[in-house]
Structure 1
Amino acid sequence: MNSLSFTPKLLSLFCIFYSVYSYNVTDEDLLLKDLLTNYNKELRAGNDRDYPVNVSVSFHLFAIKEFVEASSKFTVNGLFRTLWKDDRLSWNPLEYKNITRIIISQHKIWIPDLVIVNPYKDVVGLGNKLVNIFLESDGSCSWTPIQSFEVICDADVTNYPFDKQYCMLKFHAYSFGEEWMNITIRNSKVILSNYEESGLWKIEDTTCFSQTTNRFLEINIGLHLQRRSIYYIVGLILPMVLVSTLQSFVFLLPNTVGERVGFSVTVLLASVVFLTIIQEKLPESSEPHISILGILLLGFIAEGALVTLCVILSTNIHQFEETKPVPNWLNVLLCFKTEKVGDMNSAEDVLKVASGEDLKEEALESCSWNYIARLFDRFCFFCSLSIYATQIIIYFAIVL
């Protein structure tokens, strides 16, 4: 019996509580009409006009959409969490069925007018018609506009693809000066709790700060970015280095092969193609510096042209008729052999070597244009390979 008598009491108390603290759409509609009656959204928030309205801002980054260095286009997705208090929008919850929080369209009340001042295309303001404002009974407004921001970010491609970039999103409040509105940054860093990692860029550091520029309030969102260079090493630098150094091995091909010059020209054209690919990815600018990788590739092309000339010269040397005598200075410089010194067994041999008679005869017998061409090929092979290696070492020493 006690349990049966106790149940109706609980039900009655629940009904009383529900009737006092629940509300329907009519109650909320009445509250909105009362709040917006005689409300002028052209006037800034705050009853005391002697003091500026305090606006608190924090920025949440969701993703880096794209960064096109050639056109300086930088696009990110994120939202601003913006808080302020408008006393004109406060109410007593007890007079409205204990309603403590409602949602209202941003076009019906005053909002801070923040405009992007470094846009990539058109100047746009913060917010869109799909975003509403959460309104508390004490007049506190919470506005979280989410959108895609396209700004200009001039890339410094000196160390491309091992470069670091610093891009900023700049917002101005043109309608209100510092005497009418005060902007406070709640977090000095960009909030990355919902950030989706980029496959191309790594965020090293972030900055958020406000300042006054020509009496106008400015919000600056800065991102320190480092390029993830593994893709470029595997897909660009290594193929470029391998193709370029391959040109040195043309000197190891026998001169009887008639495609030595064609091989050199083909590799040279491949280097030109790599240079074209790099130029398409980089901005057409000489400031602050041009890419060191472009300079390296230009060096590869210059050396490739020199290698091609050396191949043509070597081919011409091979074509010299054997009846044409080798100049004496080449005999002395390239064909002078001293192997017989180790075979000297008598004083007579020593005197012959001292007089140079046997050495001259040996040089004249063994020295030929084919032999000189082979020596020239070996010399060019080691020199070109050394130059390529030196260029590569210098490049990585600078950029890393």
Structure 2
Amino acid sequence: MKFMHFTSGYFICIFYSVYSYNVTDEDRLYRDLFNNYNKELRAGNDRDYPLNVSMQFYLLAIKEFVEASSKFTINGVFYTHWRDERLSWVPAKYNNITKTLVSQDKVWIPNIVNINPFKEVYGLGSNLVQVNVDNEGSCFWVTMQSFEVVCDADVTYYPFDKQFCALRFVAYTVGVDWLNIYFPNSKVTLTSYEESGLWEVEDTTNYSHTEEGTTFVVVGLHLKRRSTYYIASLLLPMTVVAILQAFVFLLPNDAGERVGFSVTVLLASVVFLTIIQGKLPEASEPNISVLGFLLFGYVILGALVTLCVILSANIHSFKEDTCMPKWLKILCCLKTIDAKGPFSTNIVMNVEPQKEAKEKECRSWSWKDVAKRFDMFCFISSLFLYVLQIIIYFGLAT
């Protein structure tokens, strides 16, 4: 048994020693390949047909999306493949070498440039990237980069919005008769993607298309915002603060803090509006955020509540001998007469006594009673308007 193990190990060592190569062999291969190689010439022996270049994008992470500045940053990898017959060799001549690594600045590579950069125009790869070349001349170019591009956000339904952001590239200085770029898979590969805490990737796409003889490459991401954080930290607090302002009418007029309370809550709504404006882009297209309109409605309604509080305080401060306006007397004296039908005899019989009782009641009212009735009317109306605004917003946004 020991002899058999020894024999097996011996033959394995012989087998690997026969097919192994050293740095001298690879150095000789390198010198032979690039002896007369011109990287300025496009790969492909048949110049009558465009060179086929296969691409695939692997998304690694979404770094940030700043809606106010339209800056979208992601980490990803482009896997690019083509064939350059000038880089093929016979493995037997080089101790069975079947593949090697070459710096990208030593070989011809597709000149693909980003056309929607956030700052400066840039291409794929760098001098640190190497191209994997096999003995048949197949080149595998793997470029990992951090891409900063411009993505105009549509914040109409913020924070329940969905966005589409894309990396856009062009095969610079090369026409479709020279280069045919295609994607074997129409979807971005997400096998190595690290989930974002803010954005959910709903769908992806990558494709190439031709415009005026030029090939464009597009990698697109359909994103949906995770809105739980915004509901808990923004929508609920500002809604509670806004609704709280309606309860100012339940405070007694004699307390003297009603105006200060309403102004303070109004300022809180303005602060929320300022926070939202700092997060959203300064643009009117395609639409202004519905959340901005909601906060604007809160501010306007808050201003009206403050005016009503001031008016109620003035009514409450009137002296009892001050003459009550005629319209207010009419408003006080209006009362619906209960009846079984439009021809009920109870109406005729009870009109005069009810009018006399109502006029007597109006004469007995004081300005403080009028202020209380006015406060209750304003409380119910403002509360209804706040709730109505919230229902309309969520109906539109979700």
Superposition TM-score, scaled by structure 1 size? 0.92
CA-CA distance at 1:335 after TM superposition: 5.7
Matched to 2:300, the amino acid is A
Report the Cα distance in structure 2 between the residues aligned to 1:351 and 1:123, rounded to whole angstroms. Answer: 87
CA-CA distance at 1:80 after TM superposition: 0.5
Is the alpha carbon distance of 1:123 and 1:165 closer, same or farther for their aligned partners in structure 2, counting shifts above 3 Å?
same
> Do the aligned partners of 1:326 and 1:368 also contact (CA within 8 Å) in 2?
no
Matched to 1:361, the amino acid is K
CA-CA distance at 1:378 after TM superposition: 0.1
Unpaired segments ≥5 residues, structure 1? 340-349
Report the Cα distance in structure 1 between the residues aligned to 2:165 and 2:90, rounded to whole angstroms. Answer: 46
1:204 aligned partner: 202
Which stretch of the first structure deviates more once superposed, 229-238 or 327-336?
327-336
> Do the aligned partners of 1:62 and 1:196 also contact (CA within 8 Å) in 2?
yes
> Do the aligned partners of 1:268 and 1:304 also contact (CA within 8 Å) in 2?
yes
2:148 aligned partner: 150
> Do the aligned partners of 1:201 and 1:226 also contact (CA within 8 Å) in 2?
yes
Is the alpha carbon distance of 1:72 and 1:306 closer, same or farther for their aligned partners in structure 2, counting shifts above 3 Å?
same
CA-CA distance at 1:384 after TM superposition: 0.4
> Do the aligned partners of 1:336 and 1:363 also contact (CA within 8 Å) in 2?
no
SS of the counterpart of 2:202? strand
Post-superposition CA distance 1:39-65 (Å, at most 9, x none): 111111111212211110000000111
Report the Cα distance in structure 1 between the residues aligned to 2:336 and 2:121, rounded to whole angstroms. Answer: 82
Is the alpha carbon distance of 1:203 and 1:352 closer, same or farther for their aligned partners in structure 2, counting shifts above 3 Å?
closer
Q: State the percentage of identical aligned residues.
A: 60
> Do the aligned partners of 2:333 and 2:359 also contact (CA within 8 Å) in 1?
no
CA-CA distance at 1:273 after TM superposition: 0.6
> Do the aligned partners of 2:241 and 2:265 also contact (CA within 8 Å) in 1?
yes
Matched to 1:331, the amino acid is K
How big is the alpha-carbon RMSD for the aligned residues of Structure 1 and Structure 2? 2.2
1:192 aligned partner: 190
SS of the counterpart of 1:207? strand
SS of the counterpart of 1:144? strand
1:345 aligned partner: none
For residues 15-30 of structure 1, the aligned pairs below 5 Å read 16-30=14-28
Report the Cα distance in structure 2 between the residues aligned to 1:361 and 1:138, rounded to whole angstroms. Answer: 109
Is the alpha carbon distance of 1:26 and 1:370 closer, same or farther for their aligned partners in structure 2, counting shifts above 3 Å?
same
Which stretch of the first structure deviates more once superposed, 48-57 or 309-318?
48-57
Report the Cα distance in structure 2 between the residues aligned to 1:390 and 1:338, rounded to whole angstroms. Answer: 27
Superposition TM-score, scaled by structure 2 size? 0.92
Report the Cα distance in structure 2 between the residues aligned to 1:130 and 1:355, rounded to whole angstroms. Answer: 96
Which stretch of the first structure deviates more once superposed, 326-335 or 33-42?
326-335
Report the Cα distance in structure 2 between the residues aligned to 1:289 and 1:226, rounded to whole angstroms. Answer: 18
Is the alpha carbon distance of 1:206 and 1:322 closer, same or farther for their aligned partners in structure 2, counting shifts above 3 Å?
same
Matched to 2:140, the amino acid is S
For residues 343-354 of structure 1, the aligned pairs below 5 Å read 354=353
1:342 aligned partner: none
> Do the aligned partners of 1:337 and 1:362 also contact (CA within 8 Å) in 2?
no
Report the Cα distance in structure 2 between the residues aligned to 1:167 and 1:15, rounded to whole angstroms. Answer: 54
1:110 aligned partner: 108
For residues 32-111 of structure 1, the aligned pairs below 5 Å read 32-111=30-109
CA-CA distance at 1:132 after TM superposition: 0.9
